[in-house]
Amino acid sequence: MIDDAIRVLAGDCTVITDGADRTEYRGRVTTIVKPDNTVLVHDIDGYQPVAWLTRADSVSSDRANDFTLVAKKDTQTLRIAAHDQDGFAHYPASAAGTPVGECPECGGTLIRSGDVHCIDCGNRYGIPADATIRDEQCDCDCGLPRMRVERGLAFDVCIDRSCESLDDAVREAFDREWDCPEPGCDGDLRILRRGGLIAGCEHYPECDTGFAIPAGIVTGDCGCGLPTFETKSGTRCLDATCERALEGTLEAESAADD
């Protein structure tokens, strides 16, 4: 299954834009209608369209007599009438991204564009934004690529969470590893998924303490009792608002400068 299609109309056309002002053009142009209903009208000159309408509310067409395509958004209208039609077609389209492997289902190319998906059959695999796709395939029979993700440790797992769960790997490494820092609470922090991975108190909802697990490697302990993580932006506490972690980071940076 293809994500969607790009529609193309080419020929001798009259192009009328109508909104705050009215403008009319005529020439041999190519009109492109993208899957999000963005309409672009290109002529022979330059890279900028002669006319366009971004994410139109509606795009309709009438093939009777002169082929007419009408796009509307709020008070704006873009109308293209083909007097001499060179061609009109729907072309299969998908997001473009970095090739990362071969789809085991259909043999198509897997690309990374936000998530990982096949440009032919459309199979999708949601992955963390900071994941690094590896060249190695999964050890099981799924045939998918593996990824490296840092969540306290560097985990090497399949991109298909139903095959190998990143959540389970993080849970095995850090579930109940840290005490809840809330005064008077004797709970452990459990590894949970609440939108993203968090370390949350086992006594929820009586204690609603919880921290998003950052993308990084555990490097030690903060003065507040929670772990510190080495991330792309520097060392930080599991608690991103912890003042003691910030003070420690500044002291370390000062010592490095000396």
Q: What is the pLDDT of residue 139?
A: 80
Model pLDDT, residue 252: 45
DSSP string, 188-244: BEEEEEESEEEEEETTTTT---EEEPPSEEEEEE-TTSSEEEEETTEEEESSTT-HH
pLDDT at 41: 97
134-157 mean pLDDT: 92
pLDDT mean over 158-176: 95
Q: Give 93's Cβ-side CA count (13 Å radius).
A: 14
For the residues 112-134, what does the mean pLDDT come to?
Answer: 93
pLDDT tens for each residue of 152-163:
999 999 999 999
For the entire predicted model, the pTM comes to 0.71
Q: Would you say domain 4-93 falls under CATH 2.70.180.20? A: yes
Q: Is the pLDDT of residue 215 over 50?
A: yes
What is the H or E stretch that residue 77 is in? strand 76-93
Token pair 């083909």 in the structure block, residue:
82
Per-residue pLDDT at 65: 63
The Cα–Cα gap between 132 and 144 comes to 14
pLDDT by residue (tens digit) across 50-99? 999 999 999 998 876 678 999 999 999 999 999 998 988 889 888 899 99
Residue 258 pLDDT level (bands cut at 50, 70, 90): very low
pLDDT tens digits, one per residue of 233-254: 999 999 999 875 555 444 444 4
Q: What average pLDDT does range 117-144 have in this prediction?
A: 91
Domain ranges of the chain: 4-93, 98-171, 172-257
For the record, the structure tokens of 139 come out as 């050890």
Say what percent of the chain tops pLDDT 90.
Answer: 74
pLDDT for 173: 96
Average pLDDT, the chain: 89
Judged by average pLDDT, the poorest of 15-29, 31-45, 52-66 is: 52-66
Q: With contact defined as beta carbons under 8 Å apart, do 79 and 67 qualify? A: no
